[in-house]
Chains A and B, each alone.
Chain A
Amino acid sequence: GAGVSQSPSNKVTEKGKDVELRCDPISGHTALYWYRQSLGQGLEFLIYFQGNSAPDKSGLPSDRFSAERTGGSVSTLTIQRTQQEDSAVYLCASSLRAGSYNEQFFGPGTRLTVL
């Protein structure tokens, strides 16, 4: 079946503009994660959704960042008033809920460039 998809693949925006990044997880996966990967850096956890539970927002770097997941499927990460330091690749991953040992399946990412 289809893997995790993300759109757009690339986004160039001007400082101060808002952006929305979309993630379509694998069908049937109830867990969804957002990460940020800066050039040459590791993964920075942003937010985690599990079914209908309250999301774990502990990784969001500022209140300019928010995310929602509608109907337990598609998720949107919104960055308001973008700053140049927001430039990075934003990765989405999904996994089965059943156990904490489930591996995550990653999308190709959205490369965000803030000018």
Chain B
Amino acid sequence: AQSVAQPEDQVNVAEGNPLTVKCTYSVSGNPYLFWYVQYPNRGLQFLLKYITGDNLVKGSYGFEAEFNKSQTSFHLKKPSALVSDSALYFCAVRLPNAGNNRKLIWGLGTSLAVNP
């Protein structure tokens, strides 16, 4: 079955340190990959996406993610974490040739806590 895994329910990192939020997927074909963020008491916001081309994509708020086809991963990264980055992060996958199936397959989310 096609799925998206975020293996860590929670990630803790000190402010100023690099952060990584992991995402792996199990789908057939070449997927489109997305990261979304949900700040406390706010709606979900799009962060970045990989469609094709350069495996390293840059998004909002200094975040970036690297698509690794051989490892079927799309880990989210930031060189220097801020306390304000504390939020719930979701990885999602969409098959490009899914016809009328336009649903995203969502991970369960990873709670990131950045400590001052």
Contact = CB atoms under 8 A, between A and B. Distances in A.
A binds B: yes
Interface in B82-116: 90, 94-96, 98, 100-104, 106-109
B101 to A, nearest CB: 7
Q: State the main secondary structure of chain B at its contact with A.
A: loop
Contacts of A107: 43
B14 interface: no
A106 B44 contact: yes
Interface stretch (A20-28, A40-48, A68-76): A40-48
B25 interface: no
Interface residues of B, number: 24
A64 to B, nearest CB: 21
Nearest to B108: A42
A100 B98 contact: yes
Contact of A42 (B32, B96, B109): B109
Nearest to B109: A42
A31 B44 contact: no
Nearest to A93: B44
Contact of B49 (A41, A42, A93, A103): A103
B100 to A, nearest CB: 7
Given A41-B109, A45-B106, A103-B34, 19 more contacts: A42-B90, A50-B100, A50-B102, A56-B101, A56-B103, A93-B44, A100-B32, A100-B95, A100-B96, A100-B98, A100-B102, A104-B36, A104-B46, A104-B104, A106-B43, A106-B44, A108-B42, A108-B43, A109-B43
Interface of B: 32, 34, 36, 42-46, 49, 51, 90, 94-96, 98, 100-104, 106-109
9 contacts: A41-B109, A58-B103, A100-B96, A101-B96, A103-B46, A103-B49, A104-B104, A105-B46, A106-B45
